[in-house]
Amino acid sequence: MACQPSLFPSGAGAPDARPAADGAPRSRERWAGFVSVVVDIPARALSEPFAYAVPERLADDVDVACAVLVPFGRRAAVGYVVARADDLSGLPGAEGLDPARVRPVSALLSARAFSAGAPALASWISREYVAPLAECLRLFLPPGGSPRLRRAADGSWELEPPAVGEARERVVSLTPEGLDYEPPANATRQRMLMEALSCGPVTTRELNLLYTDLSAAIRTLRDRGVVRVDERRAWRAPDGGTTLSSARACAPVELTAGQRAALDAIEAAREAGSGDVVLIDGVTGSGKTEVYLAAIERVLAAGRSACVLVPEISLTAQTVGRFRSRFGDTVAVFHSRLSAGERRDQWDMVFEGAARVVVGARSALFCPFPDLGIVIIDEEHESSYKQGSSPRYHAREVAARLARDCGCPLVLGSATPSAEALARCRAGSHRGQRWLRVEMPERAGAGRLPEVVVADLRREFSSGARSMFSRPLREALAEVVERREKAVLLHNRRGFAPFLMCRECGCVPTCEHCSTALTYHERTHTLECHTCGAVTRVRPYPAPGSACPACGSRYLAKMGVGTQQVEDALAAVLPADVPVIRMDADSTRGKDAHKRLLEEFDAADCAVLLGTQMIAKGLDFPEVTLVGVVMADYALKMPDFRASERAFDLLEQVAGRAGRGERPGRVIIQTYLPDDPVIRAVAAHDRSIYAEADAAQRREALYPPYVRLTNVIVRGKDARSARGYIDRLAAEVRARIAALAPAAGGLDRPVVLGPVSCVIERAKDRYRFHFLVKAPLEADVSPLVADALAQTPPPAGVGVAVDVDAYDLM
């Protein structure tokens, strides 16, 4: 990176430069300097770097960003160098330490483990999200490319090489002497080889594809000095491209007024070089992607690189296609569905500068950009940008810190911006960064916002209708088929039925490992836990063998509706030549399944795309003229202060899939709550109808964006032990809060709510308890919780998770 911020920000603490674990002085060797090393052991007690000496034999090899083997106590450990100095006084926190007591680095393991700017950002993440520093630094490591230590059968530690090596390929080319070589008349394979090489060097893989195996001919001509075989670095391709018509991005003849305003704001932020944040608040179909592309063109022209985050893997095929149609092979893709080798190669391409634009999920943010010039987060409101496991970072916050450190703009785009982003734009700044909102109120091209029809399911039921499709939706589907157009149907519940229930005793089968009901999957006749993944085979009523686990009754009935059941119902009402393409977590488990299903939908003359929330945003199919929401009420009454915001985001986003081409679009929302502010807001395309009331409730109840919310979760197999520990930890946090000086505003100091059982009290055989810390926006609650944890470490068998700026309270 061009930026080199301080490794240890103010208040973060200095490195823990310690002598050998046994405390014994070391014989004085000739050192070539000293380094701070983060030991790759993810424990909160090891959240600071350690000081080590650099032997002269490694003087030219060991530097910042390399992986090394170091002695640690009575064992060896892998570590990562985050700072180097000629003497200990040059390492923060190591002043006054006796050099004779510092242990030396044992060996160099890797010359490049991360980019030079990674340690500073990892240190910030560690402090901000109360996570071990080693765990945070792992985010920046090449996937599968770092060595590990493992315990052998005899109890010793042995070094395990990287799981993924570099891909290599062999290239065959003619030598100067071979230019005039004429193979014998009967040497058919040699003639094939010479013909292939006449236009230039060819890889052995390409030769095998063209002529099957030519290895014998290659060996013969190599021995005669006619050809030469070289080995070079190869890149494993993450995908074979896409046939999606919407993946081709041609620059428009003229930008809309909203697009020009957004691009001007981004350019002003880029020229300012202070890490400003630009929020593009544009309706669905307003052309935000074109703004991203135009902004990146300017960044690339300046010789810098770009990072683009998308919330769903299902969007990467379409998004990557559009970016590659504009920027060619300089685009890398990075997400969890790639193989380890593919991810490693994409990481290396970025590190070496072969790729200057990275498109991917939140993990793409940690690629080793050599000179980052812009960060773009599409659909910034999405909760998938919040990491669910330690370190529980939010990509928006990490990106803002990264943009500030690198002096480049952060661009956030959404048709339904998050409450936090809108609040910061109203304030004008956040943590020293300028936040600016730009509106794009009109659709680009011929597209117009669709008409929204609310189908009242109460009236449908009172009129005697029992179908899951209301009369307006059935008629609209029939019209789509008649006009040979396409439709998208949203149902945010996968499986066949959300749960089974015994009609005699009322028993609902639940997971034996979690306190959640099991979901029935019709295709496999299984009950599956969507918390831990446990699977049980079952036959519900009226199939023979159906039996209630509590009373043995055979009347174990399917309750509720999942996507598999909706798929069957659609197949019954649609003609046989209209395919129903289902996209949910079950149908997209295979590699490239998202792309394959979208290509199938794109290629069809007339089709219905049925899916969960993964189809609700980002997809651009001009042929879609109808969007249906099978049941809009699932999200409205969840026990979550974000329920209204999430429901509006989901419905408004999926509504935006209709009418993106020349033909007008229509949206039909089925609901039992037609008067709910969220439903009315979506019907009118007017966010304020629900947002004002929602904001007033959050302000009164002290919820984000008006406070910071931290969720501390304790889990353990023994409920009494876990509950006892969380009570002690909460008391420790309260004691530290009591010592704080009150602040001005509605909430003068942090408050602790709880501890109580989590909504899902047991998951994966562990009981779960939590407490919340609500703090003023300017409060720095992370050190407070970290100090309490250090003072009250958990007992054996009890785990702690700290979720700063929490999104999921379940």
Average pLDDT score over the chain: 85
pLDDT at 456 exceeding the cut of 80:
yes
Distance (Å, whole) CA 228 – CA 212: 19
DSSP state of 101: G
Query: pLDDT > 70: what percent of the chain?
Result: 91
List the beta bridge partners of residue 558: 500
Tens-place pLDDT, residues 693-724:
899 989 998 999 999 999 999 999 999 999 99
Set out the domains of the chain in order of their start, with CATH numbers: 31-160 (3.40.1440.60), 168-233 (1.10.10), 248-440 (3.40.50.300), 451-494+563-700 (3.40.50.300), 495-561 (no CATH), 708-804 (3.30.70.600)
Q: Tokens for 176, please give them.
A: 């100067």
Q: Tokens for 152, please give them.
A: 């052998």
Closest CA to 293 of 263, 268, 270: 263
Distance (Å, whole) CA 662 – CA 92: 63
Closest CA to 262 of 360, 423, 374: 374
Band (pLDDT 50/70/90 cuts) for residue 8 is very low
Distance (Å, whole) CA 623 – CA 704: 39
Band (pLDDT 50/70/90 cuts) for residue 9 is very low
Cis status of the peptide bond prior to 755, with omega within 30 of 0: yes
Count how many Cα atoms sit within 13 Å of the Cα of residue 665 in the half-sphere of its side chain.
Answer: 31
Q: Which amino acid does the sequence have at 223?
A: D
- At 18, which helix (H) or strand (E)? none
Question: Can you say how many angstroms the Cα of residue 753 is from the centroid of all Cα atoms in its chain?
Answer: 30
Beta-strand pair 357-360/305-309: parallel
Which residue is listed with tokens 């005039």?
Answer: 180
Band (pLDDT 50/70/90 cuts) for residue 185 is confident
Beta-strand pair 67-72/75-85: antiparallel
Question: Can you say how many angstroms the Cα of residue 314 is from the centroid of all Cα atoms in its chain?
Answer: 12
3-class secondary-structure state, position 154: coil
CA angle 196, 201, 202 (to 5 degrees): 60
Closest CA to 361 of 387, 382, 334, 380: 334
Q: Which of 270-284, 518-532, 663-677, 791-805 has the lowest mean pLDDT?
A: 518-532
Q: Max CA-CA distance within the chain? A: 94
Distance (Å, whole) CA 5 – CA 402: 10
Tens-place pLDDT, residues 598-648:
888 988 999 999 988 888 877 788 899 999 999 888 778 777 888 899 999
pLDDT of residue 249: 55
Distance (Å, whole) CA 105 – CA 34: 9
Cis status of the peptide bond prior to 705, with omega within 30 of 0: yes
pLDDT of residue 25: 43
Distance (Å, whole) CA 119 – CA 129: 15
Which residue is listed with tokens 């160098």?
Answer: 81
3-state secondary structure labels for all residues of 54-71? EEHHHCCCCCCCCEEEEE
Tens-place pLDDT, residues 126-149:
999 999 999 999 999 888 767 787
Tens-place pLDDT, residues 49-94:
899 999 999 988 898 888 899 998 888 889 999 999 988 888 877 7
Cβ(443)–Cβ(286) under 8 Å?
A: yes
Specify the higher pLDDT residue, 321 or 137: 137
3-class secondary-structure state, position 304: coil
Q: Tokens for 585, please give them.
A: 């977590």
pLDDT of residue 99: 82
Cis status of the peptide bond prior to 142, with omega within 30 of 0: no
Q: Which of 255-264, 457-466, 665-674 has the lowest mean pLDDT?
A: 457-466
Helical H runs in 328-470?
340-351, 395-406, 419-427, 457-462
pLDDT at 12 exceeding the cut of 50:
no
Q: Which amino acid does the sequence have at 276?
A: D
Distance (Å, whole) CA 91 – CA 461: 73
Cβ neighbours around 338 below 10 Å, total: 22
Question: Can you say how many angstroms the Cα of residue 205 is from the centroid of all Cα atoms in its chain?
Answer: 34
Distance (Å, whole) CA 558 – CA 520: 8
φ and ψ at residue 715, rounded to 5 degrees: -140, 150
Count how many Cα atoms sit within 13 Å of the Cα of residue 535 in the half-sphere of its side chain.
Answer: 7
pLDDT of residue 796: 92
List the beta bridge partners of residue 776: none
φ and ψ at residue 352, rounded to 5 degrees: -85, 0
List the beta bridge partners of residue 110: 67
List the beta bridge partners of residue 168: 233
φ and ψ at residue 240, rounded to 5 degrees: -100, 25
**Euclidean distance between the first and the last CA atom of the chain, given in angstroms as a whole number:** 38
Q: Tokens for 470, please give them.
A: 């209301």
Distance (Å, whole) CA 520 – CA 575: 27
Question: Can you say how many angstroms the Cα of residue 747 is from the centroid of all Cα atoms in its chain?
Answer: 33
Cβ neighbours around 592 below 10 Å, total: 17
Distance (Å, whole) CA 725 – CA 792: 8
- At 341, which helix (H) or strand (E)? helix 340-351
Cβ neighbours around 47 below 10 Å, total: 22
Tens-place pLDDT, residues 332-349:
888 877 888 888 888 888
Distance (Å, whole) CA 781 – CA 504: 51
Q: Tokens for 414, please give them.
A: 């959404």
Closest CA to 539 of 522, 518, 551: 522
Per-residue burial over 319-336, b = 16 or more CB atoms within 10 Å of its CB, e = otherwise: bbbbbbebbeebbbbbbe
Q: Based on the number of CB atoms within 10 Å of its own CB, is 200 exposed (0-12), middle (13-18) or buried (19 or more)?
A: exposed
Beta-strand pair 107-110/67-72: antiparallel
Q: Which amino acid does the sequence have at 343?
A: R
3-class secondary-structure state, position 232: strand
